Structure 1
Amino acid sequence: MDSRSVAMAKVQHWVAIAGLGLGLALLPSMVQAIPGQSIDEATAWIQSNPTLQPSRGEKLLVRKTATPAQRFTFQALPLQAGRAAPGTGGRAAIRTEELAMFDMINGLTIFRLEESLRAIYGASIYQDYAQASVVFAYPDLSIRGQATNRATPLLAQLQGELREGDRFAYWTEITRRADGYAYMGRLTVFLKEDLPKLEAELRSR
């Protein structure tokens, strides 16, 4: 098998996982890169993660492209979720991890994001997310009204939710076209102490 065929096989493997959210979800739990760990720990976990399969040279940012209309990224950041801001304390640690998907061909659902979360992190983190309390969901009627008054329809096309779990906080967001077709989304895992900041930003935008 030549190098091009190998690369295509890897892309097809990723599409199967990202599209169905299965494959590796049933494997035993592994050491996880989760917010609060050091940059070195997160880098080592990403390198060994069988779902992410980073290319040579990729460390805290992993990109996968099936076609120009189908893309996936995963990144771990030492910054707070939302508007980038450093955390407090002297130790450099990962505060935010985000998986993002763009699919104009098949569309995107919250379920696909959730199943990708389970495939990457395993059952423990997935259960923390599934059992987490919803802190804020949008758009509500006031946001729809603001979008109309400000002539900013994109605000009304964003569907999102903030959750607070026992271990971490979670932010899901889906972008829809005017006709309701969802094509882009992200699911972010971040430190609970950063939740008030992000909630305030989302409520005020």
Structure 2
Amino acid sequence: MKSIKLWSVLSLGILLTLGVNRANALPGDTVEMVTSWIAAHPTLRPGIGDGLLVKKSNTGAERFTFQATFLPPGNLGFPTDRRYIRSERISFYDTINGVTPQRLEESLRVIYGPAIYQDYQRSRLVYDYPTSETIDVARRQNRPLIIAQQGKLLLGERFAYWLEVTQTDSGKAYNGQVIIFLREDLDKLETELRDR
């Protein structure tokens, strides 16, 4: 009986610790550490062989993807070091409920816990798009996708964040992503987004 009580107390302590600080592997950590974290994460629960990529789907109309990579976000380049994760992306496709910035923010809180969510909440806005100038140019050049993509780059104390939703003609977004990445990769991504 005493060993059962001790096990219950230990289990509760472990669960409380996991619940309070879920972000045990983040950009900057090793590929092995992040792979283990993904495999043990109660929300992600990858399938066999998923590793750094987790895909879930309820129907063809609702999909969720989580991907950790050793590449910085934005245009593809050559990786300098394949041992460390540089970015982690959460993306949704949902034609039933739609995708909002608030839903993307909530996914940060659920997957990474309060410490990373607070870093995000305290972050400062670096770039918000599309700008009115970009919208004018896109209309003249008949490039509706530029107008449909709405996003922002933020810089926190620990990480940088990129949120983006793609609106339909009706104004509802069915696609969206939030990426948490290393602060040192912010300038590269900001330049690419401004040059679209």
| TM-score normalised by L of structure 1 | 0.84
- Residue 31 of structure 1: CA displacement? 5.0
The answer to whether the aligner puts 1:37 opposite 2:25 as a matched pair is no
Give structure 1 stretches of 5+ with no counterpart.
1-25
- Residue 140 of structure 1: CA displacement? 1.1
* Counterpart residue number, 1:167: 158
| Aligned residue runs from structure 1 range 28-177, under 5 A | 28-30=20-22, 32-88=24-80, 90=81, 92-177=83-168
Q: 1:80 to 1:105 in 2, by over 3 A?
A: same
Offset from partner CA, 1:81-117 (integer Å, 9 cap, x none): 10122454x5621001000000001111111111111
- Residue 61 of structure 1: CA displacement? 0.1
Distance 1:83 1:77 in 2: 13
Q: Secondary structure at the match of 2:178?
A: strand
- Residue 56 of structure 1: CA displacement? 1.3
Q: 1:31 to 1:114 in 2, by over 3 A?
A: closer
* Counterpart residue number, 2:15: none
1:80 and 1:86 in contact (8 A); partners too: no
The one-letter code sitting in structure 1 at the alignment partner of 2:70 is P
Offset from partner CA, 1:46-81 (integer Å, 9 cap, x none): 000001011111100000001101000000000011
The one-letter code sitting in structure 2 at the alignment partner of 1:27 is G
Distance 1:73 1:86 in 2: 23
Q: Secondary structure at the match of 1:47?
A: helix
Give structure 2 stretches of 5+ with no counterpart.
1-17
2:22 and 2:111 in contact (8 A); partners too: no
Structure with the greater alpha carbon radius of gyration: 2
* Superposition RMSD in Å: 1.6
* Counterpart residue number, 1:189: 180
Distance 1:121 1:104 in 2: 25
1:78 and 1:86 in contact (8 A); partners too: no
Distance 1:150 1:92 in 2: 42
| Aligned residue runs from structure 1 range 15-34, under 5 A | 27-30=19-22, 32-34=24-26
Q: Secondary structure at the match of 2:20?
A: coil
2:69 and 2:87 in contact (8 A); partners too: yes
Distance 1:164 1:110 in 2: 16
Distance 1:30 1:74 in 2: 15
Identity %: 47
Distance 1:161 1:31 in 2: 23
Q: How many residues align?
A: 180
Distance 1:122 1:29 in 2: 6
